[in-house]
Structure 1
Amino acid sequence: MDVFQVSPPVALSSSATNLCNRTLMEYSFGQSYGKPFVGQYQPPSCEFNRVVMNFTVTSAGQQFDRLAIMYLGDVEIWRTSTAEPTNAGIIWTYTKDSSHLMYLWKQPQKIIFDLGNNIDDTYTAPFNTTLTATFFSTSAATKPADVILPLSAKLSASGQSSAWNYPDMRALDTFTIPQNVKKLVASLSAVGQAQEEFWWSNVPSSTTQTFGNNTLLGFSPFREVQLLIDGELAGVSWPFPIIFTGGVVPGFWRPLVGIDAFDMQEDEIDLTPWLSILSDGKPHTYEIKVMGLVDDGNGSAALISCSSYWVVTGKMFLWLDPTDSITTGALINKVIHPPTFFLTAYTTKGQNGTNATLKYQVLAKRELSFTSTIHTASGPSRASWTQSLSYSNIGIFNGNGNNQTNDQITSGLEVSSNGYSRKLSYPLKVFSFIDINPATKAMTLEGRLDRGKNIQIIGEATFPTGLESYTKEGSFGGMALNTRQNASAIFKSIPAEKRAGSWGSTEQDLVFNGFRVGKAEFPQVPIATDNTQLYSRNVVAFNGTVGRDGASAVGRTMADEQFNFPIINDTDMLDDFAMVRVEDIQFGKLRPGLSFVKP
């Protein structure tokens, strides 16, 4: 079965020259916890200013979804995850543009690919991987950062992953940047695991004991990833809710995986206003924190470090002036409004006097602004970075905590004086229901999901935006990506028969536009004009089969295939997807919104 993520395609430019290829890794990840692949990379002899990676994986048997991170030295360059295989076997390929990491690709590097996997009598599948890279030149390439510095645990010397597991590990690094930096951008990569994997489904801490012995997870459904410089807040990321391929109900994700499951995007923070401090030739501390909320049960809430655990790293992109230049500047004007939170929760009781329902609402708003005048080789200039973010989550539990609904949306606007801006909107609606027969332990898990990711970027981003594949169509000043998934699925297990399985249907629409922009004075965001639809795709998947897949690129229709949906009965699905260790199924161990504990 071919598994795939719907996303804009990455293609070689029509002006590409000097093509050459490298195999970076061929490796099977079996018993691989704490044992990443370690290899050596040597730059190819051809001239290149673009790099595109191709990652192909095969797997057969039973296995959970697994998080994977690739590094060049101590710098994380890609975060991905695996699909859950079937007994018949699966394959997937993902292509990733990594041209923004040119500083790293131009010199020898240690490659570390960390994909922790576990194999035993039940979970039998290794992940057999091949990673290649194509190097080429194109006249339309943008200028990447001159230097890239890791913000990580820096464990490559011992052949280990350089990610921090926060909060068990303090995500703190100290280093000195060159004094001739004219532009500085940080990126943050963070994803929740264990009790934080489905953070968006957690409840206010004051309500975790609402349903007696069915303890709910707390710290609220709100999360904020913070970047601190010398202990002061310098920017934040309100994360996109990643759902892995076993998440909520596994039948959602066969063969169409969740948004960004194969390519977890990083958020960028412009630190150029901080150059008046950071270019002094002295070491400074950089720290990443992931914060949730603790509430008093009376509507008041405050930020607090979340529970275990989040996998986090960052990196710093530096653009340099001539070596004899020293950047100076005035003090930073910091406008950091305290975040505002509105939190309510109430319960209703059933006829027996116990709590029957829990309903809660969490609202959040945050505004940040950093401005300074910096002096570079080009003279004085105003540097500024602003963020305005809002958040809402309404949650409902009933059925003794076994039925859950979450309706969440995160939105925001980020603007840099360097000409970059990003608008974001992350809507998410999830319903899940679980029923376990106390006598037979037979279990049914049902779910419905409606989620999206909407991004508009104007100006020159640090990361590839997808426009790089459409240079022939013209010069675009910005892009817009709008994608939505709508799904329903069911999971069943029959311990007496030692079988379990999941099936369902998922539809995804994606539209990718390029546009030109009108003039606007900072901090106003330019108006998008002359929208051109560059790519669109609509996919319907049903019980592991693609029922419809229609795509178009710049007005021409690509594949548009239609199939009859197969008739698959419960018995067939249970045989194919024996995903749960049946002796682990115990009443009250599982709750809606959480996938099964991974060994």
Structure 2
Amino acid sequence: MLYTYAIPSSIAETVLSAKTTHATVSFHPIEIYMTGTLERPDEEHDAWRVSVSNVPNPLAHPNENAVLHLTQGELGKPLGSVELGAARSAEWLIILPVFSLLHDFQVHPPTLIPAVGNGSNPYGCVVTQTLMAYDFANSYGVPFVGEYTPPSCSFNRVVINFTLDTKGVQYDRLAVMYFNSTEIWRTSTAEPTTDGIIYSYAKEMQQYLALWKQPQKIIFDLANIVDSTYTGILNTTLTATFFTIPDEEGSAVVADEILPISMLHGGDDASSMAELPSDTLQVAYTLPRNMKRAVISISACGQADEEFWYTNVFSTDVDTFADETGDLYGYGPWREVQVWIDGFLAGVSWPFPVIFTGGIVPGFWRPIVGIDAFDLREHEIDITPFIPYLSDGKAHTFQMIAAGVNNNNVTASVSNVTNDSWYVTGKIFVFLDEAGSVTTGTMPTISAPDPTFRIARSVLTNSTGANETLVESISATRSLFISSTIKTSAGEEDVSWSQELQYVNHDVLPDYGWQQVTFQNTIGVDKTGPGIGYVNGYEYPINCTYGYAETTDSLTIWGELRRTLVFNVSGPAVFPNGLQPIQLARLANQSIPAGSLDLDTESTGSILSTTQTGTAYYYDSTDGGESFGSTNQTMTFEAVGDKTGELYQRTVGAVNSSVVFDDVVFKLGSVV
């Protein structure tokens, strides 16, 4: 399949001077980018032309929102964009005239963003609101505060889109979006270049529909510092697009109520994140008596002394290289975020090691940012077995704790404190039975023994007896099973929540602590009983080698990295499983072949698998500096259930801030 578009002469000179040879076209409602080739100017029309071939069915035909992006080289420096207008309009509109900014991005599955309309399209009355347009300068303790009012049109889906541009020198910064005291999105910013960066990220928000239906106070906390050294002001825009899908096309049942587990500072126009262990994260609620399901989500990440928690050493070894590198960070490399209900352990999360864009070596993350860096994943804990206990009309406490490892020379145990700091919040998603009903049943039976640890450690010395190499390893397993019987208006049902977790970490710190080799892997399976049918299997190995050298006038940092994230989710997850945007694409384009997969009824889950590999180097001295970075990433997304198969694949590589290949394959028709 081949499409040819005219390029407006108003940007032809820019194209020519840059010797541009490539372009991409994005086809909405799903973001798909296909590489095309620019031809020589068409003298008759005073324009250039771009031909885009091999556009995948069934989403090939561009609609009124198709956009052509011009780049220098194959997906290199952006030069500008053009709305294609379904290739029917002779008048072209130039949008996003960016000439020198680096476009950062996170590799992720497609996101549905329909065109704004008046109700004549399949998505009803599509409305986009600007929620925030704000520049974050000296914003520590001073978040953006605004008001949200639901649109007048009816809607049952929401997608937010966050855009940021900045230039100069700045750290990566953590950002959290709240409705009052309830966290609804956690992200981090990309570190800028001298010329500047720009990026956008779109996120589905259907899980928070109960909140979007009501007026809310928006608090967007993005703590930044601007001074003579750190010059990057973070210019941001946040929009939300509201639309409706037919009931039969929806794959998710959303919660009726959402309650925050946070520091509850929304009334003071402040961030509600708990900073553990210095804060105590505990709330009390009297929950509705007619619950039929309840789920707690955990949002947690390490910062400061805990940002690279997976490289920490046992507390007994923190001073191994004190004379060389100073004290190391302790409490070991194992972490667990725990959920407690009235003192009973309800579930745990063994966190994924998010690496922000300043992490290890910054050259890794330009322009491909780390896995989940723009959208930190939350962990679901089903607390349905506690419903008979929680439906008594009394107040109950919900607490979260970040745990590490205590050790002596041969044994280890759980430590209920870590270094500073873990930033943690949670939410209770409440699903209600019929009004006026009261859920009853048996009290939960809880089996939650402490994790089982095995550790080993040794210190190698040089000929003078000085510590030269530290070797440590730790493995952990944990099993948790909670069950009860609940009785709702639908009848009596046995319900359960179980978690099976395995973990291993091996660390070698040679060269007197100036280098470190880390291998870690976490494997887990979380599931409910058959009545609910939710299962989440996950694995995230990481293999990282890095080193640094410092003199009075120079600094050298280098690193190699390989890591993977796999999520296999089936059943009624609270957070979208990624299938819906692909399924709903057929509403926008009825050319999908007859008999193709009905994802809602024939696929009950999805598998996301993504791997990053890279090498990076940084040198800075009073005489100058140099840096190098090379990162590749492959992501596959597939449906599982009665019909299975790969739906989407993207393989992308970058060297020294330039994308050198970017292959996207969309395979809706391949599922069998």
The answer for the alignment partner of 1:492 in structure 2 is: 619
In the alignment, residue 639 of structure 2 is paired with which amino acid?
G
The answer for the alignment partner of 2:598 in structure 1 is: 474
Specify whether residues 394 and 45 from structure 1 end up closer, same or farther in structure 2 by C-alpha distance, changes over 3 A only.
Answer: same
Q: Report the alpha carbon displacement of residue 212 of structure 1 after superposing the two structures with TM.
A: 2.9
CA contact (8 A) 2:611 2:635 kept: yes
CA contact (8 A) 1:205 1:220 kept: yes
**Residue 329 in structure 1 maps to residue 453 in structure 2:** no
Q: Unpaired runs of 5+ in structure 1?
A: 518-529, 558-599
Q: Report the alpha carbon displacement of residue 300 of structure 1 after superposing the two structures with TM.
A: 3.5
**Residue 544 in structure 1 maps to residue 657 in structure 2:** yes
The answer for the alignment partner of 1:310 in structure 2 is: 422
Extract structure 1 runs of 4+ deviating beyond 2 A. 12-17, 298-304, 499-503
**Residue 457 in structure 1 maps to residue 569 in structure 2:** yes
SS at match of 1:489: strand
Q: Report the alpha carbon displacement of residue 375 of structure 1 after superposing the two structures with TM.
A: 1.0
Higher RCO by CA contacts (8 Å cutoff, separation 6 or greater): 1
The answer for the alignment partner of 2:638 in structure 1 is: 513
**Residue 433 in structure 1 maps to residue 547 in structure 2:** yes
Q: Report the alpha carbon displacement of residue 338 of structure 1 after superposing the two structures with TM.
A: 2.1
- Within 2, Cα distance between the matches of 1:12 and 1:219? 44
SS at match of 1:274: helix
Correspondences of 1:136-215 after superposition (within 5 Å): 136-139=243-246, 140-141=249-250, 142-213=252-323, 214-215=326-327
The answer for the alignment partner of 2:35 in structure 1 is: none
Correspondences of 1:258-407 after superposition (within 5 Å): 258-407=370-519
In the alignment, residue 504 of structure 1 is paired with which amino acid?
G
Structure 1 stretch 301-310 or stretch 377-386: which is displaced more?
A: 301-310
The answer for the alignment partner of 1:591 in structure 2 is: none
In the alignment, residue 633 of structure 2 is paired with which amino acid?
Q
SS at match of 1:342: strand
Q: Report the alpha carbon displacement of residue 395 of structure 1 after superposing the two structures with TM.
A: 0.2
The answer for the alignment partner of 1:9 in structure 2 is: 110
Specify whether residues 303 and 43 from structure 1 end up closer, same or farther in structure 2 by C-alpha distance, changes over 3 A only.
Answer: same
- Within 1, Cα distance between the matches of 2:379 and 2:559? 29
- Within 2, Cα distance between the matches of 1:208 and 1:164? 26
Q: Report the alpha carbon displacement of residue 461 of structure 1 after superposing the two structures with TM.
A: 0.6
Q: TM-score, normalised by structure 2?
A: 0.79
- Within 2, Cα distance between the matches of 1:353 and 1:210? 12
Deviations 1:310-361 (A, max 9, x none): 1100001011112210111112111112210001100111112111111110
**Residue 553 in structure 1 maps to residue 666 in structure 2:** yes
The answer for the alignment partner of 1:90 in structure 2 is: 197
Specify whether residues 6 and 404 from structure 1 end up closer, same or farther in structure 2 by C-alpha distance, changes over 3 A only.
Answer: same
In the alignment, residue 293 of structure 1 is paired with which amino acid?
V
- Within 2, Cα distance between the matches of 1:338 and 1:120? 48
Deviations 1:512-552 (A, max 9, x none): 001224xxxxxxxxxxxx32211100010111110111111
- Within 2, Cα distance between the matches of 1:485 and 1:375? 47
- Within 2, Cα distance between the matches of 1:420 and 1:302? 28
Q: Report the alpha carbon displacement of residue 397 of structure 1 after superposing the two structures with TM.
A: 0.4
SS at match of 2:272: coil
The answer for the alignment partner of 2:45 in structure 1 is: none
Correspondences of 1:241-260 after superposition (within 5 Å): 241-260=353-372
Q: Report the alpha carbon displacement of residue 289 of structure 1 after superposing the two structures with TM.
A: 0.3
- Within 2, Cα distance between the matches of 1:420 and 1:133? 29
SS at match of 1:394: strand
SS at match of 1:195: helix
- Within 2, Cα distance between the matches of 1:374 and 1:300? 38
Correspondences of 1:58-137 after superposition (within 5 Å): 58-137=165-244
Deviations 1:193-245 (A, max 9, x none): 10000000001111111113231111000000000011111100000000000
Deviations 1:403-446 (A, max 9, x none): 10000000010111211000000000000111122xx4311110
The answer for the alignment partner of 1:521 in structure 2 is: none
Q: Report the alpha carbon displacement of residue 500 of structure 1 after superposing the two structures with TM.
A: 5.3
Q: Report the alpha carbon displacement of residue 555 of structure 1 after superposing the two structures with TM.
A: 5.8
- Within 2, Cα distance between the matches of 1:301 and 1:322? 45
- Within 1, Cα distance between the matches of 2:414 and 2:641? 42
CA contact (8 A) 1:489 1:503 kept: yes
Correspondences of 1:1-80 after superposition (within 5 Å): 1-12=102-113, 15-80=122-187
- Within 1, Cα distance between the matches of 2:287 and 2:627? 51
SS at match of 2:560: strand
CA contact (8 A) 1:250 1:503 kept: no
CA contact (8 A) 2:291 2:432 kept: yes
CA contact (8 A) 1:250 1:502 kept: no
**In terms of Rg, which structure is larger?**
2
Q: Report the alpha carbon displacement of residue 16 of structure 1 after superposing the two structures with TM.
A: 2.2
Structure 1 stretch 212-221 or stretch 71-80: which is displaced more?
A: 212-221
**What root-mean-square deviation, in Å, do the aligned CA atoms of Structure 1 and Structure 2 show?**
1.4
The answer for the alignment partner of 1:483 in structure 2 is: 610
Structure 1 stretch 501-510 or stretch 14-23: which is displaced more?
A: 14-23
SS at match of 2:547: strand
- Within 1, Cα distance between the matches of 2:124 and 2:461? 70
Structure 1 stretch 298-307 or stretch 157-166: which is displaced more?
A: 298-307
Q: Report the alpha carbon displacement of residue 502 of structure 1 after superposing the two structures with TM.
A: 3.7
Deviations 1:557-580 (A, max 9, x none): 9xxxxxxxxxxxxxxxxxxxxxxx
- Within 2, Cα distance between the matches of 1:368 and 1:487? 36
Q: TM-score, normalised by structure 1?
A: 0.89
**Residue 221 in structure 1 maps to residue 333 in structure 2:** yes
Specify whether residues 37 and 502 from structure 1 end up closer, same or farther in structure 2 by C-alpha distance, changes over 3 A only.
Answer: farther
- Within 2, Cα distance between the matches of 1:501 and 1:25? 37
In the alignment, residue 351 of structure 1 is paired with which amino acid?
S
- Within 1, Cα distance between the matches of 2:430 and 2:202? 26
Q: Unpaired runs of 5+ in structure 2?
A: 1-101, 115-120, 587-596
In the alignment, residue 84 of structure 1 is paired with which amino acid?
E
The answer for the alignment partner of 1:532 in structure 2 is: 645
- Within 2, Cα distance between the matches of 1:15 and 1:398? 61
- Within 2, Cα distance between the matches of 1:469 and 1:330? 39
CA contact (8 A) 2:339 2:346 kept: yes
Q: Report the alpha carbon displacement of residue 556 of structure 1 after superposing the two structures with TM.
A: 8.7
CA contact (8 A) 2:451 2:479 kept: yes
Specify whether residues 500 and 108 from structure 1 end up closer, same or farther in structure 2 by C-alpha distance, changes over 3 A only.
Answer: farther
Structure 1 stretch 138-147 or stretch 412-421: which is displaced more?
A: 138-147
Percent identical: 43
Aligned residue pairs, count: 541
